[in-house]
Structure 1
Amino acid sequence: MDALTWRVPGKVPAVKLAAATAILAAGLLFADGDVVRLVLAAAVAAALALWAARDLFVPVRLAADPEGVTVVAGLTGRRHLAWSEIERVRVDTRPRLGLRTETLEIDAGESLHLFNEYDLGVPPAEVAAALEPLREGGRL
């Protein structure tokens, strides 16, 4: 039986790579001979490029099946959590800067795994609704 998976949408790493390119170009354009400005722009661009590379190489952030969930751990690792290890799955909704943000929280006691819409490709509430029947012992 296949697992349900949620992944980073393709546009997210594309935007990060475009921003990295723009920052590097601005650094080259405005460095005006200042090595510190150039190094700072290059460091920020490299960090954004590495962040985008993670999205490209490890696009699936969350997978679920009747045995449990698999979450991203670290930069490229994965961690499987059995349903018995998971204490709570909930969606945290908060207003920020006039917008409403949702975060999916998977609480496994010793670890808390957080996912937003940019990690999952769909609103966290949809993912929580899809996880609930699996957690209760249902089938895909």
Structure 2
Amino acid sequence: MISHYSDLIKAAEIEHEPQRLLFVFCRAELPDDASAEETAAFESGEGGALTPVICVDKTPQEVPEFSLLAEESRSTGQAWDVVFVAAMSGREGTPPSSDEARQPMTMMVESIRLGHISNYLPLDKSGNAVSLG
């Protein structure tokens, strides 16, 4: 079971084929049509809508530690609350390229916008797996 980013990297490294990781950083926001109850929950740190603000693909070797990924995200100037991660397997010993990741990344962003997040690993700002829902 993956409970931290380091577990994800270890799992990716033992896969038969090389991996490319897809990251979608999201900010929790209060929807415009939120009720008073939803507003109160959001203000206490719960609920809200997840809005994708940054997406990037990397090999596990490019970001072996969560601190590297977090630092790169900070350099964009975009605040975020949770990052969703998915993995793509390569073929015949070659990891997928960034070009090959473009369409799956687009689909991932759209899924998250629609609230379909069960296929992705959510991590907090410290790289810990979190439960959403």
TM-score (ref. length: structure 1): 0.26
Structure 1 or 2: more helix by fraction? 1
Larger radius of gyration: 1
Q: Scaled by the length of structure 2, what TM-score is found?
A: 0.27
Structure with the bigger percentage of strand = 1
Higher relative contact order (CA 8 A, sep 6+): 2
